[in-house]
């Protein structure tokens, strides 16, 4: 945000805090499998918390990048799933894997052992973002089955009834469609997790919303209400070859650049704004 506002001095202050935080996080908490709950000198608590890298999850979800490598993120997510998830119970908030000693008196309380659907949905969306779609789908289906059997599909319980954190379920939609909007940079990014499948889903941004349709050789973006304005399109779709954008059946002019394998950026000659009822099509065959 400091970059977008052109505040270089404040940006540097934040960068210094960020760099120190990364070093401390790694040095004090990493145990070879996941990040410990806390560390205070020689004393540490090795609880494996499901939300231990929630900052990484959020940064990646909104498209601002993360502070962990893809490899480290994958290791942490896999071990959280290994230690905290079971088909019978769901995804617990935290656990102590075999050989790890509890360090606080509240271990085994209702909060630590609970399955909070708001955390489960958020974690599932992080799994999707790192390519673990089948594991994420299992978690989501587990939540649905539990609450449907209980007759409470519209009443998810955490601190109380109808708890709002379950709205993190929207994050699974963002993750599975891979739709991101960077308004200051006028950039739209598509990185769908369901590669090669045909699907239809809503998209939404601060300026409008609509429908996305993924076919075998194209992505169609229709605006239902409001607007969607952009001048750059980033595509992260395996097998994409020389993508072309059409607006009202007219091919848009722009420069296509390969960022890395299976990731392209199309810089349009002019900024495009699609409005209610309009559609833009990306041919990716």
For position 285, what pLDDT does the model report? 66
CA distance 46 to 190: 37
Specify the 3-state DSSP secondary structure of 27: helix
Here the tokens at position 170 are: 């929207």
CA distance 152 to 142: 14
Q: pLDDT tens digits for 203-238?
A: 999 999 999 998 888 889 999 999 999 999 998 887
Other CB atoms closer than 10 Å to residue 74's CB: what's the count? 15
For position 237, what pLDDT does the model report? 80
For position 194, what pLDDT does the model report? 79
Candidates 3.20.20.10, 3.30.470.20, 2.60.40.1180, 2.40.30.110; correct CATH number of 178-283?
A: 2.60.40.1180
Give the residues of the chain that fall short of pLDDT 50. none
CA distance 145 to 149: 6
For position 170, what pLDDT does the model report? 94
CA distance 224 to 233: 20
Question: What b/e string do you get for 112-142 counting C-beta neighbours within 10 Å, with b at 16 or more?
Answer: bebbbbbbbbbbbbbbbbbebbebbebbbeb
Q: Domains of the chain: which residue ranges?
A: 31-173, 178-283
User: What are residue 38's phi and psi, to 5 degrees?
Assistant: -160, 165
């Amino acid at each position: 945000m400091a970059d977008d506002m052109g505040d270089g001095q404040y940006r540097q202050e934040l960068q210094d805090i960020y760099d120190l935080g990364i070093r401390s996080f790694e040095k004090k908490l990493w145990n070879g499998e996941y990040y410990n709950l806390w560390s205070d000198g020689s004393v540490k608590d090795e609880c494996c918390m499901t939300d231990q890298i929630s900052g990484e999850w959020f940064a990646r979800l909104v498209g601002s990048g993360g502070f962990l490598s893809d490899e480290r993120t994958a290791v942490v997510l896999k071990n959280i799933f290994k230690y905290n998830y079971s088909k019978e119970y769901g995804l617990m908030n935290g656990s102590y894997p075999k050989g790890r000693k509890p360090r606080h008196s509240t271990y085994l309380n209702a909060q630590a052992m609970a399955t909070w659907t708001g955390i489960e949905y958020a974690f599932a969306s992080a799994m999707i973002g790192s390519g673990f779609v089948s594991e994420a789908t299992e978690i989501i289906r587990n939540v649905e089955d539990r609450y449907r059997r209980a007759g409470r599909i519209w009443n998810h319980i955490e601190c109380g009834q109808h708890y709002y954190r379950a709205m993190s379920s929207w994050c699974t939609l963002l993750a599975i469609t891979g739709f991101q909007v960077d308004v200051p940079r006028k950039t739209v990014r598509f990185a769908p997790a369901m590669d090669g499948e045909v699907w239809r889903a809503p998209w939404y941004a601060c300026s409008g919303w609509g429908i996305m349709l993924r076919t075998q050789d194209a992505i169609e973006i229709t605006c239902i209400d409001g607007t969607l304005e952009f001048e750059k399109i980033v595509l992260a779709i395996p097998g994409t070859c020389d993508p072309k954008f059409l607006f009202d059946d007219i091919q848009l002019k722009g420069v296509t650049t390969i960022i890395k394998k299976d990731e392209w950026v199309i810089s349009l000659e002019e900024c495009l704004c699609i409005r209610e009822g309009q559609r833009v099509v990306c041919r990716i065959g």
